[in-house]
Amino acid sequence: MAMDELRAPACDDGGGVGTVIEDLPADVLALVLRRLDGASLAAVGCACSSFHELATDPETWRGLCLALWPSVRDVLGCGGGGDRYRALFADAFPFPEAAATVPSSLLPARLVSAVDLHHGGVCIMSRVVETDTSSAWFLGSPFRIDALVQEGFSAPSPITPTELTLSWILIDPVSGRAVNASSRRPVAVDRKWLTGETVTRFTVVLGGVALDAAVTCDDRYGHVREVSLCIEDGERGGVSGQDGLAAVTAAMASATRRGKGAEAAARQRYEEFVKRKRARKEWKARREGIVDLCCSGVGAAAFVGFLVMLTFR
């Protein structure tokens, strides 16, 4: 619904001005606004003062957030006051951008992950995971958060990886800031022919690192084995918990977010990230090949020199 349609008056048959949308009862307008998505609802709130109060109704934003992310119902401390769901949407719905790193003293001691997995529009997993990010084990190990591991579960029907959607929101319960850590729709599907498993990736690139949310499943039987979040660098190596936490915290604090066309841009950044990673891998392989060739040449020359020395001794 466009803004000019909202504000345009209706004309009666005689050419006079009829009822405008502002003349409708507030409860009717509230029901209409609750059918909008978050971006449209925020835009309506900026259209005029009469819509602002309706568009900032806490219950409207609560219903919108719970419809998108059922898991946030169980998240505590995601913000204060009646605007906590609106603030959560403003942080978690857009795609994040890379930002300057933050000091280690400002890193959160705990992260809350709100994870929702859908297949064909039906929610098949909704889970909240709390992670202690202050321990030496987490800070020194590669960054990894598991929302589902080992136990797994079976979906109601066989799984088609391209029909999976994943929402993974990282929340700092102290500051109330949040960040979207998944591309929502798959950016890559990797099949492991030996095990029959399929890894569906929902990767978001932040500068030189990638938040790699992945779903591992056996799509033949509809069994989801693992749902995890890792952070990788351009060499496909794991980023430490401390460095990964710094990148996530910086993205939370950044005021820059991508809204319109963000999913297509996220896929494009992922493809560019993969190309750069492949190019570095090929360059490294060529360099190692040249080094091996030089070492082989030196060894052969030394062996020939040794044989010549024995011959003329």
Burial 144-166, CB ≥16 within 10 A → b, else e: bbebbeeeeeebeeebebeebbb
pLDDT given at position 40: 76
Name the pTM for this structure: 0.75
User: ∠213-217-218 over CA atoms, to 5°?
Assistant: 160
Let me know: does 208 contact 243? Beta carbons within 8 Å.
no
Question: pLDDT at position 202, please?
Answer: 93
Beta-bridged to residue 132, according to DSSP, are: 110
Domain ranges of the chain: 24-90, 94-258+265-276
Query: Residue 112: its pLDDT value, please?
Result: 93
Residues of the chain where predicted confidence (pLDDT) is lower than 50 = 1-11, 76-81
User: Which 8-state DSSP code applies to residue 234?
Assistant: T
What the block records as the tokens of 165 is 């959607």
In our burial notation (b when 16+ CB lie closer than 10 A, e otherwise), range 4-14 reads: eebeeeeeeee
- Among 180, 8, 3, residue whose Cα is nearest residue 88: 180
**Cα separation, 166 vs 39, whole angstroms:** 20
DSSP-based three-state secondary structure for 223? strand
What is the residue type of 312? F
Q: 């949310």: which residue's tokens?
A: 213
The pLDDT of residue 6: 46
Q: Which residues contact 254 (CB under 8 A, 6 or more apart)?
A: 96, 97, 98, 99
Ramachandran bin of 209, using left for φ above 0, alpha for ψ from -120 to 50, beta for the remaining angles: beta
To the nearest 10 degrees (0 to 180), the angle between helices 84-92 and 58-68 is 40
Q: Which helix or strand (DSSP H or E) is residue 239 part of?
A: none
One-letter amino acid at 13 equals D
Please provide the DSSP assignment of 181-220 as one string.
-S-BS-SEEEEETTTTEEEEEEEEEETTEEEEEEEEEETT
- The reported pLDDT for the residue numbered 146 is 93
Return all residues near 239 (Cβ < 8 A) that are at least 6 apart.
142, 143, 209, 231, 232, 233, 247
Q: Are strands 164-171 and 110-119 parallel, antiparallel or unpaired?
A: antiparallel
The four Cα atoms 245, 248, 249, 250 give a dihedral, to 10 degrees, of 120
